[in-house]
Amino acid sequence: MIAYKHCRRRFLQYATVVALATATGPLLAQESGTMSKEEAAYQDEPKNGQACSACVHFQPASNTCKVVKGSISPNGWCNQFSPQL
């Protein structure tokens, strides 16, 4: 019986850690940049074959950017574009 209680306590501790990591992970990954769309000359369409989906700053899980503030389209573009290698 003692072993069962020990296992149950460990399982609950593990489940709590997993639940917290699951809940906060996506929030942390969604942080976007600080530059305004105006400053970055952001547009909702590609430019010269370049698009956010191919930029190192794009965060596809949240449609955000590490540089530019707010929601970003995978088909967008701005003057901070940096191609993925």
Residues that bind ligand SF4 (CB under 6 A): 40, 42, 52, 55, 57-58, 65, 67-68, 72, 76-78, 80-81
> What residue type is assigned to position 7 of the chain?
C
Q: Least distance from C-beta 24 to ligand SF4, angstroms? A: 24
Q: Mention every residue, 6+ apart, whose C-beta is less than 8 A from residue 58.
A: 52, 65, 72, 74
Polymer length of the chain: 85
Q: Which is nearer to ligand SF4, 8 or 83 (CB)?
A: 83
SS3 65: strand
Q: Which is nearer to ligand SF4, 5 or 48 (CB)?
A: 48
